[in-house]
Structure 1
Amino acid sequence: MSTQEPGAQSPPRYRRPRALSPLREHLRDTFWFAPAAGLVGVMFLWFVASGVDVAVMDALREERAYEEIGRLVGFAEDAKTIITTVSSAMMTFIGVVFSISLVAVQMASGQFSPRVVRIFVRSRITKLTFSVFLATFVLSLLVLAAYDGETDPEKVETVPVVQSLLTMAMVALSLMLFIAYVNSTLRLMRVSHVIDRISRASLATLRKQEREWDEDVVLGPETARFAYRGRAGVLRDVDIARLMRVARRRGAVLRLIPRIGDFVVPGTPVIAVHGGEGVTEKAVRRSVSVGVERTFHQDLGFGLRQLADIALRALSPAVNDPTTAVQALDRIVQFLAVAVELPLGALRHRDGQLQVRFVQDVPGWADLVDLAFTEIRGVVAGNPQVSRRMMAGLDDLLLLAPEGRREVLERHRALLVDVVERTAPDAADREFALTADRQGIG
């Protein structure tokens, strides 16, 4: 029975980081894991179905139900024709899927940004379709190998009836997935859906970050510092759960020195130890993951980076698509509107006893606003649609921002006015380009 007094607020609840979350995210960034798991899974299903076929034949043979065995043999022979056709056609189908994927990736990389290719690599429907197609092909080969060619009900040893039914079910599943795959790929080839995917992933990263909302934690003196020893690359993420276990056992607080997304080289300091004793480099070195590109997993600014890249590509002379830039600005303003009241600047991860064990620096409010608007503002000259949308976005954010976060927005607004006044010689054009409009030119 709770003894909490009426009106008292409950203590904040903290979601402890999952130990396998970095591994899960890294596997999602690969294209080999899902097909490999599908092949292992279908071989297990074939083994079970083969055992069921053997059990059925043994039972019918004991009952001397040769008439039933004859029916099964006839069904299996009819199914064999279908399975043979499926086996020869499935590799062609796989080639079609792979070709569509390559075309979609090439178009997205050229028209939007090379960084959006990652969306296609992480697409669940693409991986599932490819995995099921490969599994169906392998299953058809295994089932064909199970036919012994004997048609006499009294001499036949096994009839792959269940295996044949399983193959037909996989074929039906492949067809349904192909329809879903084509629909999903066509959606991802449209810039509005790509921008929406980036926006949703960015907001998910923003919301799942753990923060200490109420108090500022003062770290003790730094007792140790560990440098990175692996190959050079982008700091993708860290295994927060492992670092917190190390810090809890040693009574220390660990601090990540670079930000997620920074490029690190061997010798770069990455982990600082505050308080405690006995924390070794071996205990923490495997908790740092470095790769060739940034990811959404723990990188708060990666979504804004992609949206800004899409807007810049759209405003380049080769593309000249200000409407796409306006769509990117819509999502940029949406992200900043969510972040405007959040206590940005640092993440303080707590253990089950609510003790801070790991501190991680993240971009602050000014960093996010600069990332969102600086480069786009530099190319708005001659694009009144974009300048009007940016003016409307800044005005909306100024209405939402608390007093301490208005200065950077006002600075960008003043710089936008200055850019337009310097590049638009006619007063009427300047007035038009600086009129706030949420649709750009609605």
Structure 2
Amino acid sequence: MIKERMKLNIARHIWVVPAIYSIGALLLAILIVWIDIAHYETVKKVVPNRLLTSTSLTQTILGSIAGSLLTMTSITFSTLMVVLTTYSGQFSPRILQNFIHDKVTLRVLGVFMGGFVYSMFSLLFIREVNDDDPVISAAVGVCIALICLIFFAHFLQHVANSIQVTKLIDRIADEAVEMIEKMGKQGRRTAERPDLEGKEWTQLHFEKKGYIQLYEVKKLLEAAEKHQCTIELLEPIGSFVIKKAPMAKVYGTKAAAEAIHASVKVGDERAPAQDVEFAIQKLAEITLRALAPGANDPNTAIDSIRHIGMALKEASYLDGQYVVYDERLIVPQRPFEELLYETFYEICYSGRDRVSVLIAVFDALKMIERDQTPAIQKKVRKFGEYVRAKVEEDILNETDRRRITERFEQL
């Protein structure tokens, strides 16, 4: 959970990774100039003469590299802005997070900024070296420039892949499934709230408004064990809360209040770290954009619906009203039928006049239902009945009705 909080903090500030690379480049510049000054004789013996340059030539090379890297950084930022505009306009504003916080994007920005920082500070420090003494700062700068070129080519390929909708859908679905599988390994899920009646409790309240992004389960359990109390959180992950809204009930001593507040992360936007609904909602929004009159792309919608079915099948294993950890921590969660409805109801409404889209929805429901418990099968079939009743009002063609009915009867 500490790792998840670190990810959230880095996600809020995209400058963190480039700053780390820049600091590393500054330290490298100091190290190389120190070697040129303090270990000049050793360098002459170890480093080939072809890699040694005079101070004046070094300044020329580093100046050219600094200007070139600044230009490449500007191009990278321009490309980044184009991609962000594409993501926001064609897919969903929520998907911007996937690209902004993408490891490749942050590393490329970090490498370019680091190369620029190295060149500039090497130019600043190289004045301490005698004009006639050969140095290796230029050779290191050329190596960094080549590395930047490699990263730039990799970045262009990454951007070309990122804006392909099929690969975007596949990547988002894989991230959702990975997160759901991780969540499935934690706690015991139950439809019944543990019996805590008769015990004295203290109610805690949220200290700020926003979306619940993270519950640090490990810290909450440690606080519950330390103070010998039971903690019941009152809102599921992803809920929007206001200041002073009820946050938790503490059964037993209220000494754990400070630790509980520190273990609940609330932010301005939803985060996919533990939010199953938000992870799947991104796919649903891509589907809705594809069904919009301006886009009119049913094939993308169908592909997205299939991936939604895959993610929901994994989410169905997390069914339950509550997650209980060691009988010390109770976390509410949205039941599967609610997740199913929230994901598909707008898709069914937007695609009500497109039989191919509705058939894809029923195929996804069939995928979810297969090899499931009777309880999940009952919930899926009940939702299928809802979809069938909803869309048959708008389907006038008898052949289309028959195809919808055939898909429904397979549930």
Fold match by TM threshold 0.5: yes
TM-aligned CA deviation for residue 254 of structure 1: 1.5
Question: Are the equivalent residues in 2 in contact too, given 1:146–1:160 (CA < 8 A)?
Answer: no
Match of 2:109 among 130, 147, 162: 130
TM-aligned CA deviation for residue 324 of structure 1: 1.4
Match of 1:53 among 21, 36, 55: 36
Q: Which residue of structure 2 lines up, in the alignment, with residue 226 of structure 1?
A: 204
- Shift in alpha-carbon separation, 1:53–1:382, aligned structure 2, 3 A: same
**1:302 is the counterpart of 2:273:** no
Question: Are the equivalent residues in 2 in contact too, given 1:213–1:343 (CA < 8 A)?
Answer: no
TM-aligned CA deviation for residue 434 of structure 1: 5.1
**1:31 is the counterpart of 2:14:** yes
TM-aligned CA deviation for residue 211 of structure 1: 3.2
Per-residue CA deviations over 1:128-176 (Å, capped at 9, x if unaligned) read 00111011011111122233398764xx4xx441x32322221111111
TM-aligned CA deviation for residue 327 of structure 1: 1.4
Q: Which residue of structure 1 lines up, in the alignment, with residue 167 of structure 2?
A: 193
Q: Which residue of structure 1 lines up, in the alignment, with residue 321 of structure 2?
A: 345
After TM superposition, the structure 1 = structure 2 runs for residues 179-190 of structure 1, keeping only pairs within 5 Å, are 179-190=153-164
Question: Are the equivalent residues in 1 in contact too, given 2:210–2:242 (CA < 8 A)?
Answer: yes
Question: Are the equivalent residues in 1 in contact too, given 2:189–2:320 (CA < 8 A)?
Answer: no
The amino acid across from 1:332 in the alignment is: I
Per-residue CA deviations over 1:242-285 (Å, capped at 9, x if unaligned) read 2222212101121221111111111111122123x242533322
The amino acid across from 2:105 in the alignment is: T
**1:262 is the counterpart of 2:239:** yes
Deviates more, 1:102-111 or 1:183-192: 183-192
**1:102 is the counterpart of 2:81:** yes
Match of 1:140 among 114, 119, 123: 119
Partner Cα separation in structure 2 for residue 379 and residue 83 of structure 1: 57
After TM superposition, the structure 1 = structure 2 runs for residues 134-213 of structure 1, keeping only pairs within 5 Å, are 134-148=113-127, 153=132, 156=133, 159-161=134-136, 163-209=137-183, 210-213=185-188
TM-aligned CA deviation for residue 399 of structure 1: 2.8
* Unaligned segments of structure 2, at least 5 residues: none
TM-aligned CA deviation for residue 76 of structure 1: 5.4
Question: Are the equivalent residues in 2 in contact too, given 1:388–1:435 (CA < 8 A)?
Answer: no
Partner Cα separation in structure 2 for residue 110 and residue 188 of structure 1: 15
Question: Are the equivalent residues in 2 in contact too, given 1:377–1:416 (CA < 8 A)?
Answer: yes
Q: Which residue of structure 2 lines up, in the alignment, with residue 372 of structure 1?
A: 343
Partner Cα separation in structure 1 for residue 186 and residue 97 of structure 2: 28
TM-aligned CA deviation for residue 240 of structure 1: 2.6
RMSD: 2.7
Question: Are the equivalent residues in 1 in contact too, given 2:232–2:248 (CA < 8 A)?
Answer: yes
- Shift in alpha-carbon separation, 1:260–1:213, aligned structure 2, 3 A: closer
- Shift in alpha-carbon separation, 1:54–1:252, aligned structure 2, 3 A: same
Match of 1:245 among 206, 219, 222: 222
- Shift in alpha-carbon separation, 1:24–1:214, aligned structure 2, 3 A: closer
The amino acid across from 2:23 in the alignment is: V
**1:44 is the counterpart of 2:23:** no
Give the aligned length. 403
Deviates more, 1:144-153 or 1:81-90: 144-153
* Structure whose CA Rg is larger: 1
The amino acid across from 1:177 in the alignment is: F
Q: Which residue of structure 2 lines up, in the alignment, with residue 86 of structure 1?
A: 65
The residue matched to 2:80 in structure 1 has which SS?
helix
The residue matched to 1:148 in structure 2 has which SS?
helix
Question: Are the equivalent residues in 2 in contact too, given 1:389–1:436 (CA < 8 A)?
Answer: no
The residue matched to 1:290 in structure 2 has which SS?
strand
The residue matched to 2:276 in structure 1 has which SS?
coil
Q: Which residue of structure 2 lines up, in the alignment, with residue 414 of structure 1?
A: 385
Partner Cα separation in structure 2 for residue 337 and residue 150 of structure 1: 66
The amino acid across from 2:2 in the alignment is: A
The residue matched to 2:282 in structure 1 has which SS?
helix
Answer 1 or 2: which has greater helix percent.
2
Partner Cα separation in structure 1 for residue 10 and residue 189 of structure 2: 35
The amino acid across from 1:256 in the alignment is: L
Question: Are the equivalent residues in 1 in contact too, given 2:224–2:328 (CA < 8 A)?
Answer: yes
- Shift in alpha-carbon separation, 1:152–1:184, aligned structure 2, 3 A: closer
TM-aligned CA deviation for residue 435 of structure 1: 5.2
Identity %: 22
TM-score by length of 1: 0.83
Question: Are the equivalent residues in 1 in contact too, given 2:189–2:318 (CA < 8 A)?
Answer: no
Question: Are the equivalent residues in 1 in contact too, given 2:36–2:129 (CA < 8 A)?
Answer: no
Per-residue CA deviations over 1:38-72 (Å, capped at 9, x if unaligned) read 111111122222222223215579xxx9xx99987
Partner Cα separation in structure 1 for residue 189 and residue 114 of structure 2: 52
Match of 1:335 among 292, 311, 317: 311
Question: Are the equivalent residues in 2 in contact too, given 1:226–1:269 (CA < 8 A)?
Answer: yes
TM-aligned CA deviation for residue 102 of structure 1: 0.6
Question: Are the equivalent residues in 2 in contact too, given 1:420–1:430 (CA < 8 A)?
Answer: no
The amino acid across from 1:402 in the alignment is: T
Partner Cα separation in structure 2 for residue 420 and residue 272 of structure 1: 43
The residue matched to 2:399 in structure 1 has which SS?
helix
The amino acid across from 1:261 in the alignment is: G
TM-score by length of 2: 0.89
Partner Cα separation in structure 1 for residue 189 and residue 392 of structure 2: 44
The amino acid across from 1:26 in the alignment is: N
The residue matched to 1:400 in structure 2 has which SS?
coil
Match of 2:263 among 271, 274, 287: 287
Partner Cα separation in structure 1 for residue 158 and residue 405 of structure 2: 38
Partner Cα separation in structure 2 for residue 278 and residue 271 of structure 1: 11
